[in-house]
Chains A and B, each alone.
Chain A
């Protein structure tokens, strides 16, 4: 079965540093998402992306966050100036066109901000 791949699997950074988390969605998928899960808490929606622009974002997704699809295959999440509370597992997901289509998740990037 096709897979969504995320890199790196673990990222450790100092507070205030910029990080870029990378995702390669499945090739014929058109909708892309970022979620995060802080340890011990529920999964939280961050942002959805369609047709090369953000279609929905949560209140968590403030000016410190941005997403890009720089080369037609990668889908990146940038955090400009990381805070301690950004430490979480970040998941990317994608799906085909159509509300009824199944979501496919990457295995996540564990971000630790020190």
Chain B
């Protein structure tokens, strides 16, 4: 069983829709990252969470430590949001465990 599970694996939506990607994990963590990987392969860190909620532009990330669950939301989605979104947990200070990613496609 993967320590990090994301859902859905694939998501297709129309421009303007509200998007939610979920991440559940099964081990104790010190923090959780949401990453974005574009079709060219480059990876960008969107958020680092250890509790609560963070917002950056149209992106919102939440985490519930007790339930071992995090969500990434995109409001007013746009085709340029099309990418693979990866949930990554941090065990201890140094080891990262990656989810399998959610492939998001936003159609105009």
Chain A contact residue count (CB 8 A cutoff): 26
Interface string of B66-108 (1 = CB under 8 A from A): 0000000000000000000010101011111111110000000
The answer to whether A105 and B48 have CB atoms under 8 Å apart is: no
The answer to whether B31 and A104 have CB atoms under 8 Å apart is: no
* Residues on B facing A (Cβ under 8 Å): 30-31, 33, 35, 37, 41-45, 48, 50, 86, 88, 90, 92-101
A residues near B100, Cβ cutoff 8 Å: 42
CB<8 Å pairs between A and B, sample of 9: A42-B86, A45-B96, A55-B94, A93-B43, A100-B48, A101-B48, A108-B42, A108-B43, A110-B41
Q: Does A89 contact B (CB under 8 A)?
A: yes
The answer to whether A55 and B45 have CB atoms under 8 Å apart is: no
What is the CB-to-nearest-CB distance from A71 to chain B, in angstroms, rounded to a whole number? 23
